[in-house]
C-alpha cells in the first residue's frame, strides 16, 4: 500500500516534498534519504583482493548492533517536526469509511428531494468536506452558494477544499470572495496565509498572517498566525 504521511501538528495528510503543511502551516522536515536509496559505493583497487572469510554469526551480530545504533541516533538527534508514516492507506477503518459513504448517499437523496433547502445542502457539503469527499464537497458548496452567495464561512470552506486538493489558485479566489462579503473575516485572512505559504510565497503569506494578528491577536487563530510569523522570522523578538 502507498504510505501515508501526516503532519505532526494537525495530523492532516502531507504530499511528498511539501515544505509546509497545507492545513496548519507548520514547517515539514522530511527524513534524509527517504526519497531515494544511496548509490552503491564503488570498490577501490586495494579492495579487489578476495577478503578473508568472516563468520556469519559475527556479521549478523554487527548488523543488529548497527541497526540499533541508527535507531538510537534518530531518537536522540532527529528533527522535532517530521511526518508520521503509516502503513495503511487510510487512517479510518474500512467500516467507518463505508458508513460515511452510506450517510453521504442518504444526505444526497434528501437534498435531491428538497433542492431549495439551503440548510440541508450546506450540511451535506460540510459532511462531505469533513470526510474528505472533496469532489462532492465542492459540488455542493457551489450549489449552496447559488442559494446563499453571501455566506462568507461557506466561501472560505470552499476555498479550503481547493487548498486540500492542491488547487491553490482556486483556493485564493474563493477566500478573497469571502473577504468581499466580510472584510474582517478572521479565518479568510488566516487561510489565505496558509495557501500562500503552501505555494512557497512567503512574503504574501506573512502579510496575511500579520493582518490576522492585527484583527484579533487574543484569539486562537491570531495566536497561531503570530506563531507562524515567528517561525518564519517575520516578527522581531520582543
Q: Is residue 3 part of a domain?
A: yes
Going by C-alpha positions, the residue among 132, 166, 131, 135 that lies closest to residue 17 is 166
Q: What angle do CA 15, 21, 24 make, to 5 degrees?
A: 145
Going by C-alpha positions, the residue among 82, 22, 78 that lies closest to residue 228 is 22
Co-location of 161 and 111 in the same domain: no
**Could you list the residue range(s) of the whole structural domain that residue 135 is in?**
93-148
- Which residues fall within 8 angstroms of residue 61, CB to CB, at 6 or more apart? none
Q: Is residue 68 part of a domain?
A: no
The CATH number of the domain holding residue 121 is 1.25.40
Co-location of 143 and 166 in the same domain: no
The predicted structure's pLDDT at residue 21: 72
Q: Is residue 50 part of a domain?
A: no
Co-location of 123 and 144 in the same domain: yes
Co-location of 170 and 193 in the same domain: yes
Q: How many domains does the chain have?
A: 3
Q: Is residue 135 part of a domain?
A: yes
Co-location of 98 and 87 in the same domain: no
Q: Is residue 67 part of a domain?
A: no
Q: Decide if 123 contacts 107 (C-beta within 8 A).
A: yes
The predicted structure's pLDDT at residue 7: 73
Report pTM.
Answer: 0.63
Where on the phi/psi map is residue 7: left (φ > 0), alpha (ψ -120 to 50), or beta? beta
Co-location of 136 and 167 in the same domain: no
pLDDT in tens, 68-78: 444 444 444 44
pLDDT of the chain, 238 residues: tens digit per residue: 445 667 766 666 666 666 667 666 666 666 654 433 333 333 333 333 444 444 444 454 444 445 444 444 444 444 433 333 333 333 444 455 889 999 999 999 999 999 999 999 999 999 999 999 999 999 999 999 999 999 999 999 999 999 999 999 999 999 999 999 999 999 999 999 999 999 999 999 999 999 999 999 999 999 999 999 998 865 544 4
- Which residues fall within 8 angstroms of residue 53, CB to CB, at 6 or more apart? none
Handedness of CA 137, 140, 144, 149 (dihedral sign): positive
Q: Is residue 51 part of a domain?
A: no
Co-location of 169 and 236 in the same domain: yes
Co-location of 154 and 235 in the same domain: yes
Q: Is residue 42 part of a domain?
A: no
The predicted structure's pLDDT at residue 95: 54
Co-location of 143 and 170 in the same domain: no
The CATH number of the domain holding residue 226 is 1.25.40.10
Amino acid at each position: 500500500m502507498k504510505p501515508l504521511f501526516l503532519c505532526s501538528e494537525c495530523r492532516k495528510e502531507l504530499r511528498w516534498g511539501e515544505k509546509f503543511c497545507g492545513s496548519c502551516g507548520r514547517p515539514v522536515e522530511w527524513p534524509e534519504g527517504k526519497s531515494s536509496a544511496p548509490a552503491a559505493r564503488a570498490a577501490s583497487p586495494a579492495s579487489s583482493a578476495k577478503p578473508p572469510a568472516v563468520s556469519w554469526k559475527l556479521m549478523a551480530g554487527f548488523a543488529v548492533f548497527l541497526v540499533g545504533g541508527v535507531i538510537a541516533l534518530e531518537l536522540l538527534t532527529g528533527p522535532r517536526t517530521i511526518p508520521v508514516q503509516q502503513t495503511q492507506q487510510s487512517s479510518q477503518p474500512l467500516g467507518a469509511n463505508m458508513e460515511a459513504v452510506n450517510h453521504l448517499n442518504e444526505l444526497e437523496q434528501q437534498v435531491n428531494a428538497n433542492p431549495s433547502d439551503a440548510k440541508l445542502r450546506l450540511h451535506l457539503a460540510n459532511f462531505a468536506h469533513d470526510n474528505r469527499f472533496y469532489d462532492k464537497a465542492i459540488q455542493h458548496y457551489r450549489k449552496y452558494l447559488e442559494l446563499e452567495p453571501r455566506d462568507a464561512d461557506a466561501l472560505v470552506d470552499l476555498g479550503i477544499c481547493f487548498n486540500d486538493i492542491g488547487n491553490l489558485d482556486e483556493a485564493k479566489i474563493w477566500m478573497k470572495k469571502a473577504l468581499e462579503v466580510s472584510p474582517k473575516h478572521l479565518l479568510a485572512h488566516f487561510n489565505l496565509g496558509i495557501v500562500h505559504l503552501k505555494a512557497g510565497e512567503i512574503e504574501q503569506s506573512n502579510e496575511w498572517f500579520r493582518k490576522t494578528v492585527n484583527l484579533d491577536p487574543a484569539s486562537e487563530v491570531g495566536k497561531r498566525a503570530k506563531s507562524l510569523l515567528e517561525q518564519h522570522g517575520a516578527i522581531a523578538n520582543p
